Amino acid sequence: MKTTTLLFSVISITTATALAFWAVRKIKQSKRLKRIAEEGYETAIDILYPHKINSRKLQYRPTLPA
Protein backbone atom coordinates (compact mmCIF):
# COMPACT_ATOMS: atom_id res chain seq x y z
CA MET A 1 0.00 0.00 0.00
CA LYS A 2 1.20 3.44 -0.73
CA THR A 3 1.56 5.92 2.07
CA THR A 4 -1.04 8.21 0.50
CA THR A 5 -3.63 5.44 0.36
CA LEU A 6 -2.94 4.44 3.94
CA LEU A 7 -3.18 8.02 5.13
CA PHE A 8 -6.45 8.55 3.25
CA SER A 9 -7.86 5.34 4.75
CA VAL A 10 -6.96 6.38 8.30
CA ILE A 11 -8.47 9.84 7.82
CA SER A 12 -11.69 8.47 6.35
CA ILE A 13 -12.11 5.85 9.10
CA THR A 14 -11.50 8.48 11.78
CA THR A 15 -14.01 10.82 10.18
CA ALA A 16 -16.64 8.09 9.90
CA THR A 17 -16.14 7.10 13.56
CA ALA A 18 -16.40 10.70 14.75
CA LEU A 19 -19.56 11.20 12.68
CA ALA A 20 -21.11 8.06 14.16
CA PHE A 21 -20.35 9.18 17.73
CA TRP A 22 -21.78 12.63 17.00
CA ALA A 23 -24.97 11.13 15.55
CA VAL A 24 -25.51 8.82 18.53
CA ARG A 25 -24.95 11.67 20.98
CA LYS A 26 -27.35 13.91 19.06
CA ILE A 27 -30.06 11.22 19.07
CA LYS A 28 -29.69 10.63 22.83
CA GLN A 29 -29.82 14.35 23.52
CA SER A 30 -32.95 14.83 21.44
CA LYS A 31 -34.67 11.93 23.23
CA ARG A 32 -33.75 13.41 26.62
CA LEU A 33 -34.95 16.89 25.66
CA LYS A 34 -38.18 15.48 24.26
CA ARG A 35 -38.83 13.63 27.52
CA ILE A 36 -38.16 16.79 29.52
CA ALA A 37 -40.45 18.83 27.29
CA GLU A 38 -43.27 16.35 27.75
CA GLU A 39 -42.87 16.41 31.54
CA GLY A 40 -42.91 20.19 31.99
CA TYR A 41 -40.19 22.79 32.25
CA GLU A 42 -40.27 23.60 35.96
CA THR A 43 -40.11 20.12 37.46
CA ALA A 44 -38.87 17.87 34.70
CA ILE A 45 -35.14 17.95 35.36
CA ASP A 46 -35.64 17.68 39.13
CA ILE A 47 -37.93 14.67 38.79
CA LEU A 48 -36.34 12.83 35.88
CA TYR A 49 -32.69 13.30 36.83
CA PRO A 50 -32.48 13.70 40.63
CA HIS A 51 -29.00 12.16 40.81
CA LYS A 52 -27.56 15.01 38.71
CA ILE A 53 -28.70 17.72 41.10
CA ASN A 54 -26.38 18.69 43.93
CA SER A 55 -29.18 19.94 46.16
CA ARG A 56 -30.37 17.61 48.89
CA LYS A 57 -33.56 19.65 49.34
CA LEU A 58 -35.48 18.08 46.45
CA GLN A 59 -39.18 18.15 47.29
CA TYR A 60 -41.89 16.33 45.36
CA ARG A 61 -44.63 18.77 46.33
CA PRO A 62 -45.47 22.42 45.75
CA THR A 63 -43.70 24.81 48.09
CA LEU A 64 -44.47 28.33 49.20
CA PRO A 65 -41.78 30.95 48.71
CA ALA A 66 -40.12 32.04 51.94
Give pLDDT tens digits for 6-47.
Answer: 999 999 999 999 999 999 999 999 998 887 777 665 666 666
Task: Kindly list the distances between the CA atom of residue 59 and the CA atoms of 9, 11, 18, 28, 53, in Å, as whole numbers in the listed order.
Answer: 54, 51, 40, 27, 12
pLDDT attached to residue 6 = 93
- Does the pTM exceed 0.75? no
Q: How far apart are CA 8 and CA 14, in angstroms?
A: 10
